Structure 1
Amino acid sequence: FPRLPAELRLRIWYLSLKRQRMIKVAVWTEWTEDWAKSSDQSKSRYFMARNHLGKLVSGGSYSTQILHPNRPALFSPLLWVTCESRQAALGFYRVHLPTSIQGRSSCGNKTEELVLYFNPEHDIVDIEDWSLSGAGLVDFLHDARAYDRKGRGVTHLALDMYGTCPGHSRLPSPTTIHPVAAVSFAEILQYTLRTVLQPVPCNGPFRIQPTVDGDKSHFAQTMPLHANQRWDRFGTGNIRWLETDPRWGVEHDLGAVSFRRNPLTCLWSWEDMERAFGIAERVPDDKFRFYLCPYIHWPAPQSYYDAVHDKSTVLPPRQNNPFLKSPWREKLAAYLHVEQEHWLRRTRQEEIPRHGSLVDAETFQRMESVPSTALGMWLCSPEAFGNSDNPAGKVFDLSASRPGLL
């Protein structure tokens, strides 16, 4: 390898680096509701300093925690292999954001002063803002932009508004954040942010969905599963973003997708926030995209643990099965087994055939015979949900357009 031309070695380094990642970050500020009510000590350093690029930074007004980090994915090994690989990694991850990162170790919780490296074009930053005012989100996005020599910062953002809206969203308001932060956030919304992903959990602990008329049930085998966040395997790490879900049978499962309430309320909250920051209605050719991302949360805690501790439940054997060597794979196999048992009970209760009421037997069997289970989320445009203005809307036919898969 050392004898290869430098240009070829550099190309190999970049091929290793060009992987999309999901970086899950929790942020919180020293105050909880309103910047104007914060202490004078906090105000004295807020938006008063500049970084090595000469850009104004927030002043360390927030703390961060990388949620369930996969360290090799978060900090590329190329940062420490050779000087040449390090320079390639630093060039690719052009945002070098100094931050205090809290995490767990064998000795308990610890705080590290680290630099968060990311690439705005490849990485999705999933932010949990634990401040009531949304100030943590605004300050983090401002600093990420300030430490980007190209002035972009976070361009792909994942944000959970579903758990708080409607009416209780923690999205920022111009009246509760620093004036400089408000101007900066408006510019980010208008010019640099390109994608917002809004995860929306589907109803039910399993991939069993009611039909649109609500009379019968359907087993949605291709509905993506998204793991409980307490498992590190599904925290910060490498991902694949597919513009179109390639699996066979997806169009059938999109015919009936149920939620606790209308996911469009999240879009409406986002649009209200944009208007508050002076962002007019976006034109059709705008590069900005807002995605609603349906998924099923697994494992269903109570159902899963009840089944695992029920001696009458026969779970798949682990021995001699390489798929089950990893703990998360074993949990997934057990979950899928319990899901199948639950579906068979449902068909008997509703007096419907094993293939359900949305597809025929031949289609159902073919879906079983091909790889159908995916771990991740669908990426659906809001237009797929129609024009329903009913916040209580629960069951949607999303089959008009094929979603992406993350």
Structure 2
Amino acid sequence: MAAQQHLQIINPEHSQECHSFPLFPQLPTELRLQIWQVSLQRQRLITIELPTSQEEYTAETKNHLGRFVRDAHCCPTVVGSKLLSKFLRVNREARDATLRFYRVHVPCRFELGDGKEDGTLFLNPELDILYIKLGRNARGFVDLVYNLRAYDPLDVGLLNLALEKNVVGNLSKINIFESETHVQKAFRDTVTNLRQVYLLVLENAGRMYLGPLNGISTQIGYELHRSRPIMSSTPTFERVGRDPRSSMERDLSRVFAGTFDPRQMLYRWRRLLEMWEIDCASGGPDYRLLISHSWRTGAMGRTGKTISDRESAAEWLQKEEERWIRGQERCANRILARGGRIPVESTEELERAPRPAIGFWLFPIEAMGPMPTPEETVDEFGEGYSWKPKRLLDMRQYWPELCLTYMP
């Protein structure tokens, strides 16, 4: 039985059928290479986890480019699925074109679920966004940034960085001036030349508001915000522009931004730049607030299952729907006492509800609200400022850009 319309994702369906073009090998080489190039032009949001141990730095080794790289702290673990292009397995010409396009080749470990294996992460700095996660091993962040530049034949390395609150806090442990001169220079040059910085809000309570059960106040105690995107383990996405879905006004008027004030991320990051003596006043990166529902949390996250294709997305949404219905039944008396009804959503409302999107929202940084002024008294990382957890943000005047995950 086909899923109800309100459970059908809006992500375009990319056919996996094999379309044969026997004359392709007869095309001029230049045209074939252009076709490979255009086919590879896709953005990715890649999650990288650094080792949590704080082992001492041992030595530098030379990579395949003959450059020195750090080998003690940061063999990164890359989390996700479909991280390697299928063009690597088509033929030698396609593989060579792919390796040129993804010119940064970094040794890593791949992880999805319980499986781990060693491999090589192929990156394109201009298109790829790296979501770097670290625990106490703040030095590993410096070494990874240094290595990304050392593995890049063009000496670019990292251009697009994604951060979340805990990572920004842990970066305060870095004293870049304790590093060797060449490491300092590579790190500071890279951070100075960042093009985009994404501040992440990935919450598992952002879709289902359960009133007293999760501390998010609602009129009747229960709301399901179906328009909030859901993150996938697949990194490739398409920016489709302004979110085209209708009936999103209620959801955008009450966007859950977590138990922390998201402005803290930007404030602390800017203080880090001052500490590292990096001047971005003349321009600096383009900042964006990235909001989604994390696939690594919630009902599916606890079972170790991920959203990687249309089938797993349908399973995730069906489990969420079942949990939503059970919750209404358990709290029926509370909902009715507050003037609500059971079920909370009528059949007509479900027909008008925004269809789910697998991906994420992007907001301008101004959507978080005003930052503290220089006149306000704050300590080194803003602890003296009265940060207020902006649990529900009214984003209606900042209608989001929607990014949809590539879903075969």
Q: Structure 1 residues 351, 366: closer, same or farther in 2, change over 3 A? A: closer
- Deviation, 1:275, is 0.9
| In 2, Cα distance between equivalents of 1:325 and 1:74 | 17
- Deviation, 1:270, is 0.9
For residue 121 of structure 1, the aligned residue among 126, 129, 134 is: 126
Q: Structure 1 residues 341, 212: closer, same or farther in 2, change over 3 A? A: closer
Residue deviations 1:95-138, cap 9 Å, x none? 122x1425479xx86542x33211112222222223x1422222
- Output aligned runs, 1:297-376, within 5 Å: 297=294, 300-301=298-299, 326-340=311-325, 342=327, 345=332, 347-352=335-340, 368-369=351-352, 371-376=354-359
For residue 83 of structure 1, the aligned residue among 70, 92, 96 is: 92
- Output aligned runs, 1:102-113, within 5 Å: 103=111, 111-112=117-118
| In 2, Cα distance between equivalents of 1:83 and 1:213 | 58
Q: Which amino acid aligns with 2:366?
A: E
Query: 1:279: which partner in 2?
Result: 278
- Output aligned runs, 1:255-274, within 5 Å: 255-258=253-256, 259-274=258-273
Q: Which amino acid aligns with 1:404?
A: E
| In 1, Cα distance between equivalents of 2:100 and 2:29 | 15
SS in 2 for 1:169: helix
Residue deviations 1:201-258, cap 9 Å, x none? 34736433879986556543211223xxxxxxx3253222344322223344211123
Any conservation in 2 of the 1:93–1:118 contact (CA below 8 Å)?
A: yes
| In 2, Cα distance between equivalents of 1:354 and 1:268 | 43
Give ranges in structure 2 of 5+ residues lacking alignment.
1-23, 304-308, 373-385, 404-408
- Deviation, 1:154, is 2.0
Give ranges in structure 1 of 5+ residues lacking alignment.
33-37, 227-233, 306-323
For residue 388 of structure 2, the aligned residue among 385, 392, 396 is: 392
Q: What is the number of residues matched between the two proteins?
A: 351
SS in 2 for 1:125: strand
Matching of residue 189 in structure 1 with residue 191 in structure 2: yes
Query: 1:380: which partner in 2?
Result: 363
Query: 1:240: which partner in 2?
Result: 238
| In 2, Cα distance between equivalents of 1:351 and 1:136 | 53
- Output aligned runs, 1:6-85, within 5 Å: 6-28=29-51, 31=54, 38=56, 42-43=57-58, 45-46=59-60, 49-51=61-63, 53=65, 55-59=67-71, 61-68=73-80, 70=81, 73-85=82-94
Aligned-residue sequence identity (percent) comes to 26
| In 2, Cα distance between equivalents of 1:205 and 1:331 | 15
- Deviation, 1:273, is 1.0
Q: Which amino acid aligns with 1:10?
A: L
Residue deviations 1:305-326, cap 9 Å, x none? 9xxxxxxxxxxxxxxxxxx993
| In 2, Cα distance between equivalents of 1:25 and 1:8 | 35
Q: Which amino acid aligns with 2:152?
A: D
| In 2, Cα distance between equivalents of 1:379 and 1:339 | 26
Query: 1:229: which partner in 2?
Result: none
Q: Structure 1 residues 349, 157: closer, same or farther in 2, change over 3 A? A: farther
Matching of residue 178 in structure 1 with residue 166 in structure 2: no
Normalised TM-score (structure 1): 0.73
- Deviation, 1:302, is 10
Q: Structure 1 residues 263, 300: closer, same or farther in 2, change over 3 A? A: same
Q: Which amino acid aligns with 1:79?
A: L
Give the superposed CA RMSD. 3.7
Normalised TM-score (structure 2): 0.73
SS in 1 for 2:75: strand
